[in-house]
Amino acid sequence: MGKGLQTEPLPPRSETLGDQKGFGVRTVGIWGHLAFLVWAIVLGVLAAEARLVFVLGFVVAFSALFFRGSLRPIRRLEFWVLVASAVLLSPFLIGEKDLSLFGLSLSRQGFWAGLWMALRALSIALAVGGFAYAVSVDEMARLFEMAGLKGLGFAVGVAVNMLPTLEETARNAYQAMRLRGGFRQDRLQGLRMLLVTIVVNALRRGDEVVEAAEARAFRPDGPRRESLPLGRTDLILIAVLMALGAGLLAWP
Amino acid sequence: MKTRFTTRDLVYIAVFGALWGVLEITLGSYLHLIFPPLTTPLVGVGTIMTAMGMVVALIGRLFVPKTGSVLMIGVVVAILKALSIGGVKLPAMLGIIIESLLAELGLILARRPSRGGFMLAGCLAVLWTFFHKFFASYVFLGRGIYDVYLGVLKEGSKALGIGMGYAVLIIVAFLLIRIVAGGLAGWLAWDLGRAVQARLVQAERNAE
């Protein structure tokens, strides 16, 4: 087992913890980011059809303005394959077939449903990615702490922060195995090794988080910390989001 | 709230919650998209995702060997699920928490960590996917349980190619598939978890 796949080198600790993502120059506070996430999810679910284009446009604009790094996934081909497959498969699976194209029976209703689904998915995925990118574990834990859920808050904070990193390490492990021909002979054995490598990498990353948390004197049963401040920028953003949301929903 | 989990326990719970969460958010959302419920009547995407999630959560139990750790992992996943594509899915979130609770019950019944205990936990958790259809339809959609039962029989008879009169056979088939999937998940979790432990021990030895 130990002679198998080597685990990849770990990135600097700050990347893992998400504590150093330009917070010194961050213009929007935690409440602003939280409001933006809630706004994107609510509008992503409630906004219908063409209005989703505006929701997505605003999410992209906000992300580009305040946390450009969170837009990295849109540079990846797999991301677009996933989005395109939703649009391309829906005409075959949803609605009555009322169109024939190159000998294929398709549904117009399915195409539009797939397109709106893809836009909805894009908006929410980018907003969640942005939130995970911009908000630190500590801030997320404090949010739950304020709701009275201390241990859970910390765990959820770490989990949300780890999502992008885990995705990346899983992809790297898969690529490393594929390049070494890990799946050529015994596919099942290769898959087992890949899963073990992913879990081992994740646990090592977890160990780093434990060290960092302990170095900062974090204790699950420690004293309550001060609440998170609500800045003027947050208030302005919340007002803008509410007005924009109401406008989009009321738009005939 | 006083917590009996240490910082390491909580981080490991987060790690396994995130691993299951990644599966739910990426693969789960994608499978739900390309396989609507009607195309997979006997083995739904929910069954597949629960079995996969159980593999992750039960491996987590090997690293956080405390009662409640699988439930905590489930709660973390449910919260992550709220952030996934498609927005807040209350039935799915509730399903994940109930499945984790049932897995926890299986582990309590087994008393000590063992392959058998993991398989029991997996079976109980995945079995819920059958009852969840009734529960969620009743609670969230207001559909009568008998209507759902008829729907299940119809789907099952179509998939198995037998008449709806063979109701017992159809229900047994539904349950058996889930028991096998859950048992397999528990078996795999034990196997993979031990392999991960062995890899970590060996890496530590090499470092020394």
For A32-69, the pLDDT digits (tens) are 888 888 888 888 777 777 788 888 888 888 888 877 66
Is A101 exposed, middle or buried, given 0-12, 13-18 or 19+ CB atoms closer than 10 A?
exposed
Task: Tell whether A221 lies on the interface with B, counting CB pairs under 8 A.
Answer: yes
pLDDT tier for residue B46 given thresholds of 50, 70 and 90: confident
pLDDT of residue A251: 76
pLDDT tier for residue B171 given thresholds of 50, 70 and 90: confident
pLDDT tier for residue A18 given thresholds of 50, 70 and 90: very low
Percentage of the residues of chain B whose pLDDT score is greater than 90: 42
pLDDT tier for residue A149 given thresholds of 50, 70 and 90: low
Q: Tell me the pLDDT tens digit for each residue of B73-94.
A: 998 998 887 766 555 566 788 8
Report the sign of the C-alpha dihedral through residues A236, A242, A245, A246, in that order. negative
Nearest CB to A159 within list B2, B18, B200 = B18
Mean pLDDT of the region B170-178: 89
pLDDT of residue A74: 73
Is the distance from CB of A221 to CB of B2 less than 8 angstroms?
A: yes
- Asked if B203 and A124 come within 8 Å (Cβ–Cβ), the reply is no
Is A207 exposed, middle or buried, given 0-12, 13-18 or 19+ CB atoms closer than 10 A?
middle
pLDDT of residue B193: 94
More confident residue, A224 or A61: A61
Q: What is the mean pLDDT of chain A?
A: 77
Is the distance from CB of A133 to CB of A13 less than 8 angstroms?
A: no
pLDDT of residue A3: 38
Asked if the model's pLDDT at residue A24 lies above 50, the reply is: no
Is the distance from CB of B49 to CB of B21 less than 8 angstroms?
A: no
Mean pLDDT of the region B137-161: 73
pLDDT of residue B197: 92
Highest mean pLDDT among A231-235, B122-126, B150-154: B122-126
Nearest CB to B87 within list A41, A154, A221 = A41
With 0.90 as the threshold, say if the pTM is over it: no
| Rg of chain B on CA atoms, in Å | 18
Q: Tell me the pLDDT tens digit for each residue of B17-34.
A: 999 998 887 787 777 766
Nearest CB to A209 within list B11, B195, B206 = B11
Asked if the model's pLDDT at residue A154 lies above 90, the reply is: no
More confident residue, A118 or A252: A118
Q: Tell me the pLDDT tens digit for each residue of A90-148.
A: 777 777 777 777 777 788 878 887 788 788 878 877 887 778 777 776 677 677 777 66
pLDDT of residue B35: 67
Asked if the model's pLDDT at residue B101 lies above 90, the reply is: yes
Q: What is the mean pLDDT of chain B?
A: 84
Is the distance from CB of A160 to CB of B83 less than 8 angstroms?
A: yes
More confident residue, A25 or A197: A197
DSSP assignment string, chain A: -TTSPPPPPPPPHHHHHT--SSGGG--S-HHHHHHHHHHHHHHHHH--TTHHHHHHHHHHHHHHHH-GGGGGGGGSHHHHHHHHHHHHHHHHHSS---EEETTEEE-HHHHHHHHHHHHHHHHHHHHHHHHHHHS-HHHHHHHHHHTT-HHHHHHHHHHHHHHHHHHHHHHHHHHHHHHTTTTTS-HHHHHHHHHHHHHHHHHHHHHHHHHHHHHTT--TTPPPPPPPP--HHHHHHHHHHHHHHHHHHH--
Residues of B in contact with A2 (CB under 8 A): 199, 202-203, 206
Task: Tell whether B58 lies on the interface with A, counting CB pairs under 8 A.
Answer: no
Which residue of chain B is at minimal alpha-carbon distance from A86?
A: B33
